[in-house]
Structure 1
Amino acid sequence: MDLQLKDRVAVVTGASKGIGLAVVRTLLDEGARVLAVSRSSGPELDGPAAGAGDRLVHAAEDLTDPLAPARAVARAIEVFGGLDVLVNNAGGPPPGVTLPRFGFLPLEDVDWAAMFEFNLFSSIRAARAAIPPMLAAGGGAIVNVSSGNAHRPMPMNVDYNAAKSALNSVSKALAEEFGPQGIRVNTVSPGPVRTAWWTEEGGAADVLAERSGTDRDTVLNEGAPQMMALTTGRLADPQEIADVVALLASPRSASTNGADFAVDSGFLKEI
């Protein structure tokens, strides 16, 4: 299916690995031009090295800097001449933080502030920068990567879950306000995804392995799917999330606005 994304301009945050990198590759495969935003780059985000030529440009930005999202949007317009798609993917553990964390009382104000800066305010600031040029161009698409945990409050990662719930609320409000003007805003809510958050040394799998007295591979292949009651019995692959993001970014989804899509291995059971 042609997603009609050829030559459209997209900004993707959190682009250096995991879901973000999969989104970048998918949009490039569909012919889009992509500004990939992350703190650090690599061969995958170098246009010529990645085989994307001048259709892929990296912007080195730390999205906990309040000015970074606007700089990234301005850079995309400078390089590519406009903006059609914003994918707010940056999120998860803020720099220097390891998740999961357990319980409410250990969290200080600084923990809450850092979590909301990275998982909510960076997306708000990027949308605030992206919407005016999209309005001037007659429309666009914003896809916010949320989390299944936004729908299932629990004492594990309570600050992260709250930030993603807030992101869902903001996304619905933006969809209602700007949908009549041609800007669609939707969210994708992954469950556990086999990314560096889980797999890297000291990551979520290691934290849970230590807590349960097992090892990383057992957590990834058995423990986490069982603990989270994943219907498919496995963590999702980043590409599976990227495919849904690309569809929502596409004009083929012209009547999809204010929706939330669970790509979560059957994590959410609620109607």
Structure 2
Amino acid sequence: MDLQLSGRVAVVTGASKGIGLAVVSTLLEEGAKVVATSRKSTPELDALAGPNLVHVPADFMDEDAPAQVVARAVEQFGGLDILVNNAGGPPPGVTLPRGSFLHASDDEWRAMFEFNLFSAVRAIRAAIPHLLERGGGAIVNISSGNARQPSPINVDYGAAKAALSNITKVLSGEFGPQGIRVNTVSPGVVRTPWWTDEGGVADMIASQAGTDKDSVINTVVPEMLNLATGRFVEPQEVADAVVLLASPRSGSTTGAEFVVDGGLLKEL
């Protein structure tokens, strides 16, 4: 299926690994021009180098960074059609999961909202005028299953993502008549470096459970969360949903939430 993305310009945040990297790769395969932003590049992102890819190093804890990245995309490729707000997770200095709601300080709450909510708000604010100049476009916000299934071990993260999901609905109503579609993708547990890296969440759980990282990823967590598929979500599976929502082929889809979670969420 032709997703009609050839020549369209996209900004992808948190683009150096995991879901963001998979989104960048898929957009490039569909012929899009991509500005990928992250604090630093990775060998995996560097391997995608070509005339349709520009990496812009940026720290989205800096309130000026989102607008600067959007401006670079317009300068480099002449406009903007797609914004994927993927940057998120624990900001620098904050460790997840937590043991309790009581373990998060005010400063950690502020940092979590700065990275997971306000950076996306600033990117959207910078992107909308350029999307309107093109007659519309698509914004895809990466939320989380924790936005709808609250967890005391990720309470501040879940609250920030719930706010992002709320904003998606508001924006879809205000800017839909002007051609801008805004949607949410909510992943569950995804096989990303946050889980798999040395010292990552899988290692933390393995230490507590007296087992090894592979067992945590392949058995312990899927069983603990009662995942219908029995396995973690792969980054590419999330990226496929993101790119479909970014495509004009999803022209009547706005204000929607696409859940890609392996059956984590059980409620209607």
Q: Please name the residue that 2:28 is paired with.
A: 28
CA deviation after TM superposition for structure 1 residue 82, in Å: 0.1
Q: Please name the residue that 2:246 is paired with.
A: 249
CA RMSD of superposed structures (Å): 1.0
Q: Please name the residue that 2:91 is paired with.
A: 94
CA deviation after TM superposition for structure 1 residue 101, in Å: 1.2
Letter in 1 for 2:15: A
Counterpart check, 1:234 vs 2:231: yes
Measured in 2, the distance between the counterparts of 1:158 and 1:119 equals 13
State TM-score, norm by structure 2: 0.98
* CA shift digits 1:109-166 (9 cap, x unpaired): 0110111111111100000000011112210100000001100112111000100000
Measured in 1, the distance between the counterparts of 2:212 and 2:93 equals 23
Aligned partner (choices 111, 115, 124) of residue 114 of structure 1? 111
* Cα pair distance change 1:69/1:111, threshold 3 Å: same
Which sections of structure 1, spanning at least 5 residues, go unmatched?
none
CA deviation after TM superposition for structure 1 residue 45, in Å: 3.3
Q: Is the Cα–Cα contact under 8 Å of residues 17 and 45 in structure 2 kept in the other structure?
A: no
Letter in 2 for 1:245: V
Identity of aligned residues (%): 68
Q: Please name the residue that 1:65 is paired with.
A: 62
Q: Please name the residue that 1:41 is paired with.
A: 41
Counterpart check, 1:153 vs 2:150: yes
Q: Please name the residue that 1:83 is paired with.
A: 80
Q: Please name the residue that 1:184 is paired with.
A: 181
Measured in 1, the distance between the counterparts of 2:4 and 2:159 equals 35
Counterpart check, 1:142 vs 2:145: no
Which sections of structure 2, spanning at least 5 residues, go unmatched?
none
CA deviation after TM superposition for structure 1 residue 215, in Å: 1.7
Matched residue of 2:101: which SS?
coil
* CA shift digits 1:235-268 (9 cap, x unpaired): 0100000000000000000000000000000001
Aligned partner (choices 203, 221, 225) of residue 222 of structure 2? 225
CA deviation after TM superposition for structure 1 residue 84, in Å: 0.1
Matched residue of 2:12: which SS?
strand
Matched residue of 2:87: which SS?
coil
Q: Is the Cα–Cα contact under 8 Å of residues 100 and 207 in structure 1 kept in the other structure?
A: no
Letter in 2 for 1:14: G
Measured in 2, the distance between the counterparts of 1:205 and 1:45 equals 24
